Amino acid sequence: MGMLDHAWLGVLAVFQGPAAFSLFSLPISFTLLLVFAGFVLGIVVGATPGLAGPMAMAISLPVLISIFGYSSDALLPVMGFLIGVMKGATIGGAVPAILFNTPGTPDAFMTTLDGHPMARAGKAGKALRVAHFSSVTGDTFSDIVLVLCAPFLALLVEAYLDLPEKTALLILSLSFIAAVVGGSPGKGLISTGLGLLAVYVGSGEDFYPRLSMGTETLSRGFSVTTAVLGVLILGAVFEGMQETFHDHRRQPGATTHALTGDQVLRFADIRRLLPYIGQSAVIGTLIGALPGIGSTLAATLGYTLGRTRHQKHQPAGAPGFGDGVPEGVAATEAANSAVSGANLIPVLSLGIPGNAAAVFLILAADSIGGFTPGPSVFRVPSEGINPELVVAFGLFTAMFLANALNWTLGGLFMRSMGVMTRAPKHILLPIVLLLTLTAIYVQEPRMEAILFALAFGFLGYFMRKAGISPLPFVIAFILGGTLEQTARQAFAATGGDPFFLFASPIAAFFMLAAVAVIVFTARKPVT
């Protein structure tokens, strides 16, 4: 069967999978239902300051796995739900940014710059419509690029990269992520080193579990769940609690601004906004395709380039970016939303997660089994079916399904989420903490798992307080095992060549690039 046959099977797997219920005699599959549920949940958490898509993913995962089990039939419903959350949270973050000058997600900060002035001027409805239209357009563009690029990139990797090159590529990815995430290559390398060290505790090929200090507690090592949820989610919860609690003031009463004038997004508006959206969608997609670079940078770049364009084309004296112009909202939202689809390019084609949402997709695939993101996913067998390729196209279908929901219902949901901004953060965070600890325990029912997760949570908290991004830690923890395994195989396959990482031009190039990216980012002027 060819690639197109697999694509069609993927579409069918989404629409004709096990049915949850029938609507007018039409069976609605679990995957459809869960993409919808995830999408709605994503908008809710995105619109709630202090909560975020990854938190919802972390908490939902054990429940979903309990419902659907560990069979390959579980993959599409569970991962479809996570994709729904990812998409929903992207547009949800703009709601509090526009209505109350409080970004629901970090990447929505730039949206406040023009979105909130529009709301203050009585144009909140229009600002939300602009944000929604731009976000969905950027996201859809990014998904199209993902579908077109990921399979070909994977095929290229399979065709040209052997074990030494794959090892060097993993080192390059870790080095790149360390260099670009958080703006400090030194701190990025520290975060990466800590993640690698943590994943190597209690593992290895010898009978003695290395770095376990002879203790039974460490001999089993740390599970992905405890490390990832600890550093990423608990660390963020602790930091959020510290900031909220010690403010000693509740969130100020949200002030609503009366709507005045035309709130509709008209065709003329769309025509005027499209160049900004197009430019930002390309920027977001390019940035998203590189692992580790978040949507915050995409939003900043999209906004900056949009402002330059606006200055060129606007008559003198007209309101500019920052004064509440729809172009500012469009440039930001298109850029940060375009990151989400493209971020899955390195995940699906190389198995390298680029952001927190991708980490949870890998975690889901790892927990359920039967789908290992990486180049082998896109291998077309000479005869028979590659089930992983069917799942990959099923995921693409789920993404476009979420986009369809976004185009049709997203705006409506988004505009009704203003109430979530009033959810008191200081009450939500302790509940999220208990919820996360419970989610960890049900996945790994021993108190040690909770203690490890809390220890990682405090590590994540202090890393954040010291300006060290926890994302390289998490990505290194996930890739550490693969890196060691690939290196061992490459070393053995080259007959124990100590220079196996420099034996081929491609591997040598990757290794030099890994060093160069650190050197060049470290040499940038101090700001």
Partner 1 sequence: MSGYPKGNVLIGCSVIAFALITLLVWIPSDTATGIVETVRRRTVIGDAMAPSLAALFLLVGGLLLLTAERRAASQPLPSREAVVFALQIALILVVSLLLMRWTGPLAAALAGEEYRLLRDSYPWKLAGFILGGTVMVAALLVLAEQRLSLRVLVIALAAVIVLVAIYDLPFDDLLLPPNGDV
Whose Cβ is closer to partner 1: residue 183's or residue 320's?
183
What would the two tokens of residue 168 be?
């060097």
Whose Cβ is closer to partner 1: residue 340's or residue 469's?
469
What SS3 class is residue 354? coil
Amino acid found at 244: T
Task: Report whether 254 contacts 420 (CB < 8 A).
Answer: no
Whose Cβ is closer to partner 1: residue 387's or residue 481's?
481
CB of 510 to partner 1, least distance (A): 15
Handedness of CA 332, 338, 343, 346 (dihedral sign): negative
Task: Report the distance separating Cα 81 and Cα 393, nearest Å.
Answer: 15
C-alpha angle with apex 270: 268 to 275, nearest 5 degrees? 115
Whose Cβ is closer to partner 1: residue 264's or residue 526's?
526
Q: At what angle do helices 75-92 and 3-15 cross, to 10 degrees?
A: 80
CB of 486 to partner 1, least distance (A): 11
Amino acid found at 382: S
**Which DSSP letter does residue 251 get?**
P
Cross-strand bridge partners of residue 29: 19
CB of 206 to partner 1, least distance (A): 4
Task: Report the distance separating Cα 58 and Cα 357, nearest Å.
Answer: 10
Whose Cβ is closer to partner 1: residue 250's or residue 266's?
250
What SS3 class is residue 477? helix
Whose Cβ is closer to partner 1: residue 207's or residue 267's?
207
CB of 515 to partner 1, least distance (A): 10
**Which DSSP letter does residue 253 get?**
P
Q: Please count the CA atoms within 13 angstroms of the CA of 292 that sit on its side-chain side.
A: 26
Cross-strand bridge partners of residue 305: none
CB of 427 to partner 1, least distance (A): 6
Whose Cβ is closer to partner 1: residue 91's or residue 232's?
232
Q: How far is CA 162 from the centre of its chain?
A: 28
Task: Report the distance separating Cα 22 and Cα 388, nearest Å.
Answer: 28
CB of 211 to partner 1, least distance (A): 5
Cross-strand bridge partners of residue 22: 27
Pick from 74, 15, 12: nearest CA to 364: 74
What SS3 class is residue 29? strand
Burial class (CB in 10 A: 0-12, 13-18, 19+), 508: middle
Whose Cβ is closer to partner 1: residue 312's or residue 524's?
524
First vs last C-alpha separation in the chain: 55
Pick from 425, 331, 438, 421: nearest CA to 43: 421
324 backbone dihedrals φ, ψ, rounded to 5°: 100, 50
Task: Report whether 200 contacts 210 (CB < 8 A).
Answer: yes
Whose Cβ is closer to partner 1: residue 205's or residue 216's?
205
Which helix (DSSP H) or strand (DSSP E) does residue 118 occupy? helix 109-120
Cross-strand bridge partners of residue 238: none
CB of 356 to partner 1, least distance (A): 21
CB of 405 to partner 1, least distance (A): 24
Whose Cβ is closer to partner 1: residue 318's or residue 434's?
434
Question: What separation in angstroms does the CA of 310 have from each of 269, 306, 482?
Answer: 14, 6, 46
CB of 126 to partner 1, least distance (A): 37
Whose Cβ is closer to partner 1: residue 243's or residue 262's?
243
Pick from 329, 310, 278, 303: nearest CA to 130: 329
CB of 95 to partner 1, least distance (A): 24
CB of 220 to partner 1, least distance (A): 14
What would the two tokens of residue 372 be?
């290992």
Whose Cβ is closer to partner 1: residue 15's or residue 491's?
491
Task: Report the distance separating Cα 125 and Cα 121, nearest Å.
Answer: 11
Whose Cβ is closer to partner 1: residue 268's or residue 526's?
526
CB of 494 to partner 1, least distance (A): 10
CB of 417 to partner 1, least distance (A): 21
